[in-house]
Amino acid sequence: MIAKYPQIYIRSYRHTLIRRRIMKTRNIPFSPPDISEKEIELVVEAMRSGWITTGPKTKQFESQLADYCNTDKVVTMNSATAAMEMTLRLLGVGPGDEVITSAYTYTASASVIHHVGAKIVLVDIQEGKPEMNYKLLEEAITEKTKVIIPVDIAGIMCDYDMIFEIVERKKELFTPNNDLQSSFGRIIVMADAAHSFGAKYKGKMSGQVADFTAFSFHAVKNLTTAEGGAVTWRNQSFIVNEELYKEYMLLILHGQSKDALAKNVPGSWEYDIVAPNYKCNMTDIQAAIGISQLERYDEILKVRNLLVDSYNEQIDRVFQNVLHLDHLNEYQDSSSHLYFIRIVGISEKKRNNIIIKLAERGISTNVHYKPLPLLTAYKNLGFEINDYPAAYNFYQNEITLPLNSLMVLEDVDYVVENLIEVLND
């Protein structure tokens, strides 16, 4: 029985074989929303209050998010995509400019660059890590580069000290387009932190580190508002935070000089439209979900961290050629958003077959991500996967295992047990 397990994958299995006898078939969804009665109560409260669009709960949620991130202001929106796009627009990025991001990410990191008319510049990742190759990042910077968008994949923050060192070394190439860019006097760093809300880099919260940080509160994220996102920024001597907040408000609500809450003051009906802007505000119904989620977010993170620890312990003990990311080290405390594994030496076809077999056993998995140059939209923009070999090498044998705060440790046991059996099939 023991001898049939191929040594390329299995390191120690006696404990696993004993556990198998007590295993029962489970159904483990990939990332269901963790919604408690408290969220439901606050949503009902918002609906009964008469404030279902942007109102007092949205402002409360923004204030609480800022406190959590140790920043002065947060602007909530209807998605992280909107948060990134509005920030690029606030910075005056447009045609003739270049913005750099990773080739290994979800489309939103790059599509927002296209939305504002700037040129997308994709950089390959490090070999064996879904993080931008910083040598290639530095080489990609030109006199047209205005913004870098690092991506905090799986909840692990990028090496921002390295990024800011690169930006400083390339400072002489920077030519500002507007007053805000001039105030920075260098390339701006905007973190795609869709995965990293609650993570830390060298003791600082995600939101405190990059110049601007965009969060996602989509249904599959650690903290959800069903759909939603936010942007925050670190304190800078040349930024008046209240004024910047007002600029965002104009961008996200049609350029209207007063939001619905301000107009509700008796006699304050009149407003102006100062620019033909956009519509991407968060509602009080969404904020109500977020307020409740934030109240118990520390507990949510504890559960996710325990699950990651259990995955790590079992995978390190059992497998030789199954690799995982480092979620906790002296510099980084991950938000444990996604659990990546890579099965060394297998093909993309074999990886896909493993995913199907796990699904047949009730285990939902995913792949994060198909590199952007493999997608039709980016092929049509001229990107070719041959220019991003590290991204393809990472992608072809990557599987994202289920990780969510509704799981228990026995679910991890079940996933690992079945992974052993599938790899041995």
Query: Which residues are tagged catalytic?
Result: 221
- Per residue, what are the HEC states of 319-335? ECCEEECCCECCCEECC
Neighbours of 274 (CB within 10 A): 11
Q: In 3D, which of 405, 229, 294, 283 has the Cα closest to residue 39?
A: 294
Give the ranges where 326-367 is alpha helix by DSSP (H): 348-360
Give which of 160, 169, 143, 146 is closest to 99, Cα–Cα: 146
Q: How far apart are CA 100 and CA 210, in angstroms?
A: 15
Residues 6+ apart with CB under 8 A from 129: 325, 394
| Residue 168: both structure tokens together | 């400083």
Cα three-residue angle 140-143-146, rounded to 5 degrees: 80
Tokens of 153: 């994949």
The one-letter amino acid code at 23 reads M
Which parts of 170-283 fold into alpha helices (H)? 179-184, 241-252, 260-263
SS3 387: helix
Whole-number Å distance between alpha carbons of 415 and 363:
7
Say if residue 134 is preceded by a cis peptide, omega within 30 of 0: no
Question: Is 270 exposed, middle or buried, given 0-12, 13-18 or 19+ CB atoms closer than 10 A?
Answer: exposed
Contacts of 114 (CB under 8 A, 6+ apart): 120, 381
Widest pairwise Cα distance in the chain: 82
Extract the tokens encoding 231. Answer: 């942007």
Pairing of strands 204-205, 200-201: antiparallel
CA atoms within 13 A on the CB side of 320: 10
